[in-house]
Structure 1
Amino acid sequence: MPRPVWTGTISFGLVAIPVKLYHAVRRQSVSFNQLDDRTMSRIRYKKVSALDGDEVPDDHIVKGFEVSKDRYIVVDPDELEPFIPAATKTVELEEFVDLDEIDPVFYDNAYYVAPGTNPKPYVLLARAMEESNKVAIGRFVMRNKQYTAAIRAEEGRLIMSTLAYADEVLDPATIDELQELDDVDVSKKEVAMAESLVDSLSATFEPEKYRDEYREQVLDLIQIKASGQAFEAPEAVAEQPKVVDLMAALEASVARAKDARGRHPSTAEPSAKKKAAKKTTKKKAAKKTAAAKKSA
């Protein structure tokens, strides 16, 4: 049973809505520990001085910011105390914006927003936001850190995503390769062929189709070795040759995509039915012709 990671209220104007935040995404990964292969004991790390390699006790460890090579400014925790945001229990909504105005690059961690004691104000806000296609922008503090967040409504539920700050998002103008795209010439035929490829691969998004295959294979490997069985490593997949001719690559890709669609069961059934219908029609026509000859 998931547990809330934050409890408080959403506040805008004179309205306060009690809510709880739950993680919307649970990251899955495989982690390993470093071991001593002689004793299979865990490897521990010590805090040592880079100057002489001696272990440094905790009471001699301070925080420092490197301003130049090997030059640090030491900052005392008491000096940081005034800057730590007050641990409030309120998400202060400041404005509502259109959903398509937010570039997805700004989205960070996602949380489900669940109602507190009285769900009616929650439902009213969610319905109003969903019908107006608006997203609420606000600020809140969690674990002594202030976040800017976007709250959107989807199927009657509220979903909050923390947002990156503008100075954290890299300007694409700083990437040289992206500035060279304006000088690339493509023909209308190439664009049409690329659109045909996109159209042939268009489908409804089904997130269940995409899995972390590396993690699944590693877990299988661990399970096999834990059961005492021998593990045979699969053969490495040969690297595909690079295609230089862009049009040839596009045409081959479109043909392969159409062929794959034709072999898919959902698209193959109608053609099979048509063939069966044609056979039935031919049989009926042959019977009618035989009957007509007999009567004659």
Structure 2
Amino acid sequence: MARPVWSGTISFGLVAIPVKLFHAVRRKSVSFNQLDERNLARIRYRKVNAETGEEVSDEHIVKGYEVSKGRYVVVDPDELEPFMPAVTKTIELEEFVDLDQIDPVYFDTAYHLAPDANAKPYALLAQAMEASGKVGIGRFVMRNKQYTAAIRAEEGRMVMSSLAYADEVVDPLDIEEIAGLDDVEVSDKEVLMAESLVESLSADFEPEKYHDEYREQVMALIEMRADGEEITTPKVAEDDAPKVIDIMAALEASVAAAKASRENHPAQRATKKKAATKRSSKKKAAAKKKTAAKKQADKKSA
């Protein structure tokens, strides 16, 4: 059973809508503990002084910010207190914008917003936002940290994503390899061939097709070892990917391979078989009709 990570209200104008916040994504990974191989006991870590190697108790540990190599500014927690955002239980929507105005690079963690208590105000806002195609932008505080968030509506429900701040987003032009792309020349023929490859590989997005294969294989290995089964470690495949020398030749070969793959796909074969059966049925129906007409003509002439 999912548990809310935050509860409060969505506020815009004089309207307040009680809501609960639930994680929309549960990250999955394989994590290992470090053990002593002699008795499989957990390895623990101690807080030690980097210069003396002596263990340091919590009473002597302070917060410091490194302003230059080896130079720190010590800050007392009491000095930070006035800057902490006020703990509120409100997501204050300040404006509504078009979704396509938000670069996807700004989206961070996603949450499901669920109604708390009276669901009618929630449903009303969700339907109004969906009809207008707008996204609500606001701020809220969770665990003593302030976030900017975007709330969008889909099929009568609302989803909220925390947003990165503008000064956190890396300007792509700061990356030398990207900044130099303006000097790269491509021909119209190359662009058309690349578009053809994109078109031949186009499909509807089905997230269920994609899996964390590494995690699944590691968990399978762990389960086998836990059951006492013998494990044969597979050989690591060598990276024998060919180097692209002739871009046009590579594009043409890729397009041909994509088309062949589509034609051999089970769904495509089923479609072709269905079409062939339909054509055969039409031919048979036409032949029967022709035979019937001939018999009718023969009767009249007789």
Provide the TM-score with structure 2 as the length reference: 0.92
The aligned residue for residue 31 of structure 1 is: 31
**CA 241–49 in structure 1, closer or farther in 2 if over 3 Å, else same:** same
Note the residue ranges of structure 1 that are not aligned, 5 or more in a row. Answer: none
User: 1:256 matched to which residue of 2?
Assistant: 257
Farther off after superposition, 32-41 or 261-270: 261-270
Query: Match of 2:74?
Result: 74
CA 1:96 to 1:35, structure 2 compared with 1: closer, same or farther past 3 Å?
same
Q: Is 1:152 the equivalent of 2:152? A: yes
Q: 1:235 to 1:98 in 2, by over 3 A?
A: same
Bigger CA drift: 271-280 or 107-116?
A: 271-280
Distance 1:14 1:172 in 2: 40
Matched, 1:182 2:182: yes
Q: What's the CA shift for 1:235?
A: 2.3
Q: Which secondary structure does the structure 2 equivalent of 1:193 belong to?
A: helix
**Structure 1 counterpart of 2:231, one-letter code:** F
1:278–1:106 CA distance, 2 compared to 1 (3 A): closer
Counting only pairs closer than 5 Å after superposition, residues 10-49 of structure 1 correspond to structure 2 as 10-49=10-49
The yes-or-no answer on 1:132 pairing with 2:158 is no
Q: Runs of 4 or more off by more than 4 Å in structure 1?
A: 274-282
Q: How has the CA–CA distance of structure 1 residues 192 and 84 changed in structure 2, closer, same or farther, with 3 Å as cutoff?
A: same
**How far 1:246 moved relative to its partner?**
0.6
Offset at residue 69 of structure 1 (A): 1.3
SS at match of 1:272: helix
> CA offset at residue 73 of structure 1?
0.6
> What SS class does the counterpart of residue 49 from structure 2 fall into?
coil
**Residue 248 of structure 1: CA displacement?**
0.9
User: Which 5+ residue runs of structure 2 have no aligned equivalent?
Assistant: none
Specify the code of the residue in structure 2 equivalent to 1:256.
Answer: A
Count of residue pairs brought into register by the alignment: 291
Helix, strand or coil at the partner of 1:180: helix
Q: CA, structure 1 residues 159+274, in 2 after alignment: closer, same or farther (shift >3 Å)?
A: closer
| Cα gap change, 1:119 to 1:193, in 2 (>3 Å) | same
* CA shift digits 1:212-250 (9 cap, x unpaired): 000000000101111111111122223222221111111
* Counterpart mapping for 1:196-235 below 5 A: 196-235=196-235
Q: Is 1:194 matched up with 2:194? A: yes
1:275 Cα shift?
A: 4.4
Distance 1:57 1:247, change over 3 A: same
State the alpha-carbon separation in 1 of the partners of residues 270 and 74 from structure 2.
Answer: 72
State percent identity of aligned pairs.
67
Cα 1:276–1:96 shift into 2, 3 Å: closer
Q: Secondary structure at the match of 2:59?
A: helix
TM-score in terms of structure 1 length: 0.93
C-alpha RMSD of matched pairs (Å): 2.1
How far off is 1:17 after superposition? 0.3
Name the aligned partner's letter for residue 135 of structure 1.
V
